[in-house]
C-alpha cells in the first residue's frame, strides 16, 4: 500500500503557479521555461521565453532559483554568465532581493525576471 | 528497530486538550491527521490538524465511543492530502504515560486496517492523561502495535512525554548534583533524555557539545564534515597541533572532548561526518529532539530553519558578527541567539537568512573562487574572535534552558541580540511575515521542500582528508594517538567505576 503523494512544493508547485499566471510553462532540457513580457528596456512589450533549472526549483518556494536562463543572443550591459543545458542558451547570475517578504512568491519572482529583462540591450 | 515518536505544536496540543479533557471528567475521543517524518533510526508522526467529531459521530457515556463513519471521513480527508490518521482518546483520571486497556486495544486494532487501507499510513493511537501527558503507538494491521518512545510538543516551551520503559530516565550521578539542584530531579530526567544534535562543531558548537554532556544529557551527537586546520587552533577547544598534523576531523576532536567531559553513566555520543545540506545529514537530524545550529552558511541554516517547522524539532541558532572600522580597529561586535520553533519567527523572518544567498550557496557559488572573483562579491564573513565566542555559547545555552526548563514558566524569549560597544541586550520584536513559506509548512514532515542535495564541497573536504590520511606518517601518527586516547578512556572508566 502506498500513500498518495501530494506535492505543493518544488517543480510541480512552480509549474502550477506559472500556469496560474498564464506564463505557459514547459519542462524541457532540465529547465522550466516560461514566458515573461518586460515593460522596459530593449525587449519592452515583447514576449520572451526564459527559464530556470529544474534542480534549482526543487526547494521552491522556500528558496528561489539563482540563474536566469535565456537565449544566448540576449545580451546585458553587465552580466556574469554561465552555461545552460538548453542548446543556444546561456544563464545569467542574478540575486532576487528581499525573498520571503511577498505574499505570492511567484509574483515576486516574475517581477524580478521582468526587472532583469528590462536591462537587456 | 526503528523508533517511533509523535510530535505536535503547542497550539494543537492545547486544542486537543480542550476537547479531550472535559469539564465533566468523562473520557472523550477525536481524530487528527499526521505527516510522517522519517529519520535514520526514528519515524515521527507529525500531527497536522485535529478533525473533531461532527454531530452523531461519537457519544460520551463515561467512556467514549465513535462511529466507523467518523474514521472513514477523517481517513478519506487525510488520504486526499497524503496524510495518515491518529486516533486520540483521554484517560482523565490517570497520570503519566498510559498503557492500553483491553477495550482501547480492541478499538484501535479494529480501525488500524481501515485507516491504513485508506491512507496508506499506519494508524497512530494516542492517549492523553489527566496531567496532560501523552502516550502513543503505531499500528501495523498484521503485526499489532509498536509503542512510541516519546511525544514531543513544540512551542516556546518544549514538552516531551517519555515512555519510561523504552526511554528510562538516566540515573543522575554525583557529578551532576549541582546541576540537578538548579531545577530538580524530574526536570533533569526530562532534559537528560533529550536527543540533542549539534550541527557544526567549530568554536561555539564544540563548546556547546561539551557543556551539554557535562550537564548530563545522555545522547549528544555532532555533525561536521570539516577537518581541523591550523587556523582553528586559536579557538577550537582541546584541538592540538597534533590533530592538524594528523588531519583529524572536527567530529573526532569533538567526540574525544565529549567523552572526557560526559557525566552520564552511559553517554551515547555519535559523530556524523556529513553536512546537514546532504540528504543523509538531514535524515540523521530527524532522529533528534533539539538541534543546535552552529553553522554560518545560509544553505545549512535554511535546512535547519525548515526542520524546525516541518518536523517540529526546535533549533537553537546563534552567531557572532564582528564589525571592523574600514581603517582597522573594532567598531562593534554583536551576538545573537534565537529559538526557531512554532510561535517564534523563523530565521528568514528574523533577517538571519536571505533566500537569494541560500540559492547562491546551494548552487555552490560561495565555494567557487572563479565565480566570486568574476561577480565581485564578498564570500560569507569568516571573522571570529575566540574571546567572544563563549558569549555566543552562553546565549544559546540560555535559550536552550529557557526552552526546556522554562524558568518561571515563561519559555524561550524573542530573539536576543547583545551589542558589545554599548553593552546592551536587545529583545528583537520580530514577527512572522504573512508570506513566510517556512512557517506555512509547519507539520509538513516528509513533504518538506527539497533543500538538500549532494554537497560537492563536503565531498571534496572528506576526500582531501582521506587522501592526506593515506601517508605512512599520518597513519602511524593516528594509530599512536588512538592508542593513547583509548588508554585514557580505559583509565577514566576504571577511575569512575572504582
Predicted-complex ipTM score: 0.88
- A61: preceding bond cis by omega (within 30 degrees): yes
CA distance linking residue B29 with residue A89, whole number of Å: 60
pLDDT at B8: 98
Residues of A in contact with B302 (CB under 8 A): 62-63
Q: Which has more confidence, B308 or A100?
A: B308
Helix axes of B203-214 and B389-404: crossing angle, nearest 10 degrees: 40
* CB-based contact, A101 to chain B, within 8 Å: yes
Cα-based torsion angle of the residue sequence B293, B297, B298, B304 in order, rounded to the nearest 10 degrees: -20
Question: What is the band of A2 on the pLDDT scale with cuts at 50, 70, 90?
Answer: very low
pLDDT tens track for B367-411: 887 877 777 776 556 666 788 999 999 999 999 999 999 999 999
pLDDT at A3: 39
Q: What angle do CA B268, B255, B239 make, to 5 degrees?
A: 165
CA distance linking residue A84 with residue B356, whole number of Å: 20
Backbone angles phi, psi at B124, to 5 degrees: -110, 125
Nearest by CB to A103, from B80, B434, B453: name it.
B434
- Exposure string over B53-87, b if 16+ CB within 10 A, otherwise e: beeebbeeeeebebeeebbebbbebbbebbbbbbb
CA distance linking residue B241 with residue B246, whole number of Å: 9
Structural contact between residues B198 and B212, judged by C-beta atoms closer than 8 angstroms: yes
CA distance linking residue A3 with residue B336, whole number of Å: 42
Question: Residue B168 burial (CB < 10 Å; 0-12/13-18/19+)?
Answer: exposed
Structural contact between residues B199 and B223, judged by C-beta atoms closer than 8 angstroms: yes
Q: How far is B433 from chain A (nearest CA, A)?
A: 6
Among A75, A63, A79, A67, CA closest to A30: A67
pLDDT at B367: 84
Q: How far is B375 from chain A (nearest CA, A)?
A: 6
Question: Coil, strand or helix: which one is B26?
Answer: coil
Among chain B residues, CA nearest to A98: B354
Structural contact between residues B124 and B137, judged by C-beta atoms closer than 8 angstroms: yes
CA distance linking residue B265 with residue B497, whole number of Å: 10
- DSSP string covering B161-215: EE-TTTSPPPPP-GGGHHHHHHHHHHHHHHHHH-EEEEE--SHHHHHHHHHHHHT
Distance of CA B118 to CAs A38, A75, B80, B167, Å? Answer: 48, 54, 10, 32
pLDDT tens track for A30-84: 999 999 999 999 999 999 999 999 999 999 999 999 999 999 998 888 888 899 9
Name the average pLDDT for chain B.
Answer: 93
Among B72, B137, B33, CA closest to B445: B33
- Residue window 45-74, chain A: list those with CB within 8 Å of chain B: 55-56, 58-67
CA distance linking residue B92 with residue A3, whole number of Å: 34
- How many Cα atoms within 13 Å fall on the side-chain side of residue B244? 11
Handedness of CA B418, B421, B424, B427 (dihedral sign): negative
Structural contact between residues A35 and B475, judged by C-beta atoms closer than 8 angstroms: no
Among B45, B267, B268, CA closest to B149: B45
The size of chain A, in residues, is 121
pLDDT at B198: 98
Q: How far is A93 from chain B (nearest CA, A)?
A: 8
pLDDT at A6: 45
CA distance linking residue B457 with residue B443, whole number of Å: 31
CB contact under 8 A, B116 and A105: no
Kindly state the average pLDDT of the residues A106-115: 95
Structural contact between residues B128 and B88, judged by C-beta atoms closer than 8 angstroms: yes
Q: How far is A47 from chain B (nearest CA, A)?
A: 26
Distance of CA A16 to CAs A27, A111, B370, Å? Answer: 12, 17, 36
Phi-psi region of A111 (alpha: psi -120 to 50; beta: other; left: phi over 0): alpha
Distance of CA B233 to CAs A10, B487, B497, Å? Answer: 42, 24, 33
Question: Coil, strand or helix: which one is B263?
Answer: coil
Q: What is the 3-state secondary structure (H, E, C) of B381-404?
A: CCCCCCCCHHHHHHHHHHHHHHHH
pLDDT at A4: 40
Among B406, B427, B443, B422, CA closest to B338: B427
Nearest by CB to A80, from B362, B375, B435: name it.
B375
pLDDT tens track for B463-482: 999 999 999 999 999 999 99
pLDDT tens track for A74-92: 888 888 889 999 999 999 9
Structural contact between residues B272 and B221, judged by C-beta atoms closer than 8 angstroms: yes
CA distance linking residue B338 with residue B413, whole number of Å: 8
Residues of A in contact with B80 (CB under 8 A): 4, 6
Q: Which has more confidence, B310 or A29?
A: B310
Handedness of CA B478, B484, B488, B494 (dihedral sign): positive
pLDDT by residue, tens only, chain B of 498 residues = 799 999 999 999 999 999 999 999 999 999 999 999 999 999 999 999 999 999 999 988 888 889 889 999 999 999 999 999 999 999 999 999 999 989 899 999 999 999 999 999 999 999 999 999 999 999 998 889 999 999 999 999 999 999 999 999 998 888 888 888 888 899 999 999 999 999 999 999 999 999 999 999 999 999 999 999 888 887 888 898 999 999 999 999 999 999 999 999 999 999 999 999 999 999 999 999 999 999 999 999 999 999 999 999 999 999 998 888 888 888 999 999 999 999 999 999 999 999 999 999 999 998 887 877 777 776 556 666 788 999 999 999 999 999 999 999 999 999 999 999 999 999 999 989 888 999 999 999 999 999 999 999 999 999 999 999 999 999 999 999 999 988 988 887 787 666
Among B275, B413, B433, CA closest to B349: B433
* CB-based contact, A78 to chain B, within 8 Å: no
Nearest by CB to B120, from A3, A61, A103: name it.
A3
Amino acid at each position: 500500500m502506498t500513500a498518495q503523494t501530494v506535492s505543493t512544493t518544488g517543480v510541480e508547485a512552480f509549474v502550477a503557479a506559472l500556469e496560474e499566471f498564464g506564463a505557459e510553462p514547459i519542462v524541457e532540457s532540465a529547465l522550466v521555461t516560461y514566458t515573461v513580457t518586460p515593460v522596459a528596456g530593449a525587449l519592452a512589450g515583447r514576449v520572451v521565453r526564459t527559464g530556470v533549472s529544474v534542480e534549482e526549483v526543487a526547494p521552491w518556494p522556500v528558496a528561489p532559483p539563482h540563474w536566469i536562463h535565456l537565449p544566448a543572443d540576449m545580451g546585458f550591459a553587465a552580466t556574469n554568465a554561465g552555461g545552460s543545458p538548453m542548446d543556444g542558451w546561456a544563464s545569467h547570475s542574478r540575486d532576487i532581493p528581499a525573498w520571503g517578504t511577498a505574499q505570492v512568491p511567484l509574483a515576486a519572482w516574475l517581477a524580478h525576471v521582468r526587472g532583469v529583462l528590462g536591462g537587456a540591450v | 528497530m526503528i523508533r517511533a515518536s509523535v510530535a505536535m505544536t503547542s497550539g494543537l496540543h492545547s486544542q486537543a486538550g480542550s476537547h479531550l479533557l472535559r469539564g465533566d471528567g468523562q473520557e472523550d475521543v477525536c481524530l487528527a491527521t499526521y505527516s510522517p517524518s522519517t529519520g535514520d533510526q526514528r519515524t515521527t508522526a507529525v500531527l497536522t490538524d485535529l478533525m473533531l467529531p461532527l454531530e452523531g459521530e461519537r457519544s460520551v457515556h463515561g467512556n467514549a465511543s465513535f462511529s466507523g463513519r467518523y474514521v472513514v471521513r477523517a481517513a478519506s480527508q487525510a488520504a486526499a492530502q497524503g496524510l495518515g490518521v491518529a486516533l486520540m482518546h483521554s484517560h482523565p483520571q490517570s497520570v503519566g504515560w498510559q498503557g492500553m486497556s483491553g477495550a482501547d486495544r480492541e478499538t484501535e486494532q479494529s480501525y488500524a486496517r481501515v485507516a491504513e487501507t485508506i491512507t496508506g499510513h499506519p494508524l497512530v493511537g494516542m492517549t492523553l492523561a489527566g496531567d496532560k501527558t501523552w502516550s502513543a503507538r503505531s499500528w501495523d494491521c498484521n503485526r499489532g502495535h509498536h509503542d512510541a518512545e516519546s511525544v514531543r510538543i513544540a512551542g516556546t516551551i518544549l514538552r516531551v512525554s517519555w515512555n519510561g520503559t523504552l526511554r528510562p530516565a538516566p540515573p543522575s550521578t554525583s557529578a551532576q548534583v549541582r546541576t540537578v539542584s538548579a531545577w530538580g530531579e524530574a526536570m533533569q530526567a526530562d532534559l537528560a533524555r533529550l536527543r540533542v544534535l549539534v550541527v557544526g562543531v567549530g568554536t561555539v558548537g564544540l563548546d556547546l557539545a561539551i557543556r551539554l554532556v557535562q550537564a548530563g544529557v545522555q545522547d549528544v551527537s555532532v555533525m561536521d564534515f570539516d577537518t581541523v586546520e591550523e587556523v582553528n587552533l586559536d579557538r577550537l577547544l582541546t584541538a592540538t597541533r597534533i590533530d592538524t598534523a594528523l588531519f583529524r576531523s572536527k567530529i573526532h576532536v569533538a567526540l574525544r572532548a565529549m567523552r572526557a567531559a560526559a557525566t552520564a553513566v552511559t553517554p551515547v555520543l555519535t559523530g556524523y561526518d556529513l553536512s546537514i545540506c546532504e540528504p543523509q545529514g538531514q535524515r540523521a537530524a530527524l532522529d533528534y529532539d533539539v538541534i543546535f545550529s552552529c553553522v554560518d552558511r545560509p544553505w545549512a541554516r535554511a535546512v535547519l530553519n525548515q526542520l524546525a517547522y516541518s518536523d517540529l524539532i526546535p533549533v537553537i541558532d546563534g552567531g557572532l558578527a564582528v564589525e571592523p572600522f574600514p581603517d582597522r580597529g573594532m567598531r562593534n561586535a554583536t551576538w545573537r541567539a534565537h529559538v526557531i520553533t512554532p510561535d517564534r519567527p523563523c530565521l528568514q523572518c528574523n533577517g538571519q537568512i536571505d533566500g537569494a544567498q541560500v540559492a547562491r550557496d546551494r548552487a555552490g557559488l560561495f565555494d567557487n573562487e572563479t565565480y566570486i572573483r568574476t561577480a565581485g562579491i564578498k564570500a560569507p564573513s569568516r571573522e571570529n574572535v575566540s574571546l567572544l565566542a563563549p558569549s555566543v555559547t552562553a546565549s544559546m545555552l540560555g535559550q536552550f534552558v529557557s526552552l526546556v526548563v522554562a524558568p518561571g514558566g515563561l519559555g524561550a524569549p524573542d530573539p536576543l541580540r547583545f551589542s558589545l560597544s554599548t553593552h546592551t541586550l536587545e529583545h528583537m520584536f520580530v514577527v512572522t511575515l504573512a508570506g513566510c513559506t517556512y512557517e506555512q509548512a509547519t507539520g509538513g514532515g516528509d513533504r518538506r521542500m527539497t533543500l538538500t542535495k549532494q554537497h560537492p564541497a563536503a565531498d571534496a573536504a572528506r576526500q582531501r582528508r582521506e587522501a592526506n590520511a593515506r601517508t605512512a606518517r599520518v597513519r602511524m601518527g593516528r594509530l599512536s594517538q588512538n592508542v593513547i586516547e583509548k588508554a585514557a578512556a580505559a583509565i577514566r572508566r576504571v577511575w569512575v567505576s572504582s
